[in-house]
Amino acid sequence: MKILHTSDWHLGRSLYGRKRYDEFSSFLDWLSTTIQDEKIDVLLIAGDIFDTGTPGNRAQELYYRFLCRVSDSFCRHILVISGNHDSPSFLNAPRELLRALKVYVVGSITEHPEDEVIVLKDEKNLPQAIVCAVPYLRDRDIRIVEPGETIEDKNRKLVRGIQEHYAEVAAIAEKKRKALLQQSNIKNPQSQIPIIAMGHLFTAGGETVDGDGVRELYVGSLAHVGKEVFPLSIDYLALGHLHVPQRVGGAEHIRYSGSPIPMGYGEAGQTKKVVTIEFNGAAPLIQELRIPCFQPLERIVGSLDDILSKIERLKTEKSTAWLEIEYTGAKIVGDLRETLEEALADSVMEIRRIKNKRLTDRVIHAIQENQTLDDLDVNDVFERCLDAFDVPDEDRVELTGSYKEIVKDLLEEDVNEV
């Protein structure tokens, strides 16, 4: 049995206003071809399929077209879990229909944890694997709010809630495996029916990069769980949320596949990957497959001469890159965009963002050094409000915590839920 692990597609995401459907389409075409060439039996998609809970028609078209194409290929099973960017009810809505295509969707936890434990069978109807398809666990799913809780209390309860949920579904999987082995009269080791788990969460020590759009899942950077949280019975754990491909705590069998295309210029230099896992009755053979770059991104920083020189070099190389340009020269250049557009006039390259630091510093005095308005997020704006109203330090921790709770609830609100 051969499995492919991918995640964090973020279908529908834009880059400074530029739609990226061509990139997404090229990736999904490459992935479906790879699944066929590699003879993949099971596809795991570990959350953040869409960039928002209300994806546009084109993003939905890409998703469903891909599922139809792969379900009609060598691949026998597709498992999809929700991520923090997904709407659980939106993903769940067509799940009964998709089940006919051997696509199993788990958008949210239910009252019955066994709903997340799925037995996969081969063409002879024999058990092939058991998957614990754990979706993104929202705060309210795993923690009961109590008055007077400290940040440390919340942290402990969140980690404990995650650990208990994985322990519960893994126990159900182990029980199912034991029963299946007895029914089949199989006396070989447990690896005959591997237990595979999925999840969408932030692990301790996880690597991120600036501008990747990975937001904290819980208030106060809480619940960065360690590998010890996951039951030892899990033979492979397919994780989503972090965009950098990586192992968790050095464990070969606990991995993030990472995002398939760079979500921002911080990811531009990354090698994007999917992970394949092959079970042949022994320890799994785990390999990484490199994803081609479908749209190069280039970030150029320096004086005007430096920038123009780099543009000329890229033109000589016949680059098709989308550019992020930061001007850091000493002189104020008021017509910077016009100058750069002229330099690119005979090129297919596009400028997606220009940061004119000198001009910005002159016009926007309230912004701190080395920052522009584009650098501020909702938390930065709140901090500026606290500064503007001279809120004492002793009041800021509680106010900031409450504010982040509100923002998190707004981001996680399932607008499709009736």
Let me know: does 54 contact 65? Beta carbons within 8 Å: no
Q: Are residues 182 and 220 in the same domain?
A: yes
pLDDT at position 288 is: 97
Hey, what amino acid is at 186?
Answer: I
Q: Is residue 370 part of a domain?
A: no
pLDDT at residue 390 tops 90: no
pLDDT at position 219 is: 43
Q: What is the mean pLDDT of residues 325-342?
A: 89
Q: Are residues 254 and 137 in the same domain?
A: yes
Strand order in the sheet with 350-356: 297-302, 322-327, 350-356
**Rounded-to-integer distance, Cα 285 and Cα 53, Å:** 35
Residue that wins the pLDDT comparison between 154 and 358: 154
Q: Is residue 368 part of a domain?
A: no
Residue that wins the pLDDT comparison between 361 and 1: 1
Structure tokens at 359: 């001009």
Beta-carbon contacts of 213 under 8 Å, excluding residues fewer than 6 positions away, are 10, 13, 243, 263, 264
Phi, psi values for residue 326, rounded to 5°: -120, 115
CATH number of the structural domain spanning residue 339: 3.30.160.720
Q: Are residues 302 and 286 in the same domain?
A: no
pLDDT at position 359 is: 55
pLDDT at residue 197 tops 90: yes
Count of the separate structural domains present in the chain: 3
Q: Is residue 364 part of a domain?
A: no
Summarised one tens digit per residue, pLDDT across range 43-71 is 999 999 999 999 999 999 999 999 999 99
**Rounded-to-integer distance, Cα 337 and Cα 345, Å:** 12
**Rounded-to-integer distance, Cα 219 and Cα 322, Å:** 34
pLDDT at position 376 is: 66
Q: Is residue 72 part of a domain?
A: yes
Q: Are residues 87 and 204 in the same domain?
A: yes
Summarised one tens digit per residue, pLDDT across range 297-323 is 999 999 999 999 999 999 999 999 999
pLDDT at residue 365 tops 60: no
**Rounded-to-integer distance, Cα 266 and Cα 415, Å:** 30
Q: Is residue 366 part of a domain?
A: no
Residue that wins the pLDDT comparison between 328 and 130: 130
pLDDT at position 414 is: 59
From 271, 290, 309, give the residue that closes a domain. Answer: 290
From 290, 325, 348, give the residue that closes a domain. Answer: 290
Q: Are residues 229 and 325 in the same domain?
A: no
pLDDT at position 388 is: 72
Instruction: Calculate ∠ Cα 135-274-223, nearest 5°.
Output: 35
Q: Are residues 62 and 211 in the same domain?
A: yes
Strand order in the sheet with 2-6: 103-106, 77-81, 42-46, 2-6, 273-278, 285-290
pLDDT at position 416 is: 63
CATH number of the structural domain spanning residue 115: 3.60.21.10
pLDDT at residue 182 tops 90: no
Summarised one tens digit per residue, pLDDT across range 87-117 is 999 999 999 999 999 999 999 998 899 999 9
The SS3 of residue 276 is strand
Q: Are residues 89 and 224 in the same domain?
A: yes
Beta-carbon contacts of 263 under 8 Å, excluding residues fewer than 6 positions away, are 8, 10, 13, 211, 212, 213, 243
pLDDT at position 385 is: 79
Using 50, 70 and 90 to split pLDDT, how confident is the model at 151? Answer: confident
Q: Are residues 394 and 317 in the same domain?
A: no
Q: Are residues 285 and 215 in the same domain?
A: yes
**Rounded-to-integer distance, Cα 125 and Cα 76, Å:** 12
Q: Express as a percent the part of the chain with pLDDT over 70.
A: 86
Q: What is the mean pLDDT of residues 76-91?
A: 96
Q: Are residues 192 and 329 in the same domain?
A: no
CA proximity to 240, closest of 40, 12, 131, 84: 84
Q: Is residue 128 part of a domain?
A: yes
Q: Is residue 255 part of a domain?
A: yes
Q: Are residues 282 and 398 in the same domain?
A: no
**Rounded-to-integer distance, Cα 159 and Cα 164, Å:** 9
pLDDT at position 330 is: 83
Q: What is the mean pLDDT of residues 374-388?
A: 73
pLDDT at position 353 is: 93
Q: Are residues 404 and 300 in the same domain?
A: no
Domain that holds residue 396: 376-418
pLDDT at residue 366 tops 50: no
Beta-carbon contacts of 190 under 8 Å, excluding residues fewer than 6 positions away, are 177, 181, 233
Q: Is residue 371 part of a domain?
A: no
Q: Where are the beta strands (DSSP E) in 203-330?
A: 236-240, 246-248, 251-256, 273-278, 285-290, 297-302, 322-327
pLDDT at position 221 is: 47
pLDDT at position 383 is: 80
Rounded mean pLDDT of the chain? 87
From 314, 329, 358, give the residue that closes a domain. Answer: 358
pLDDT at position 220 is: 45
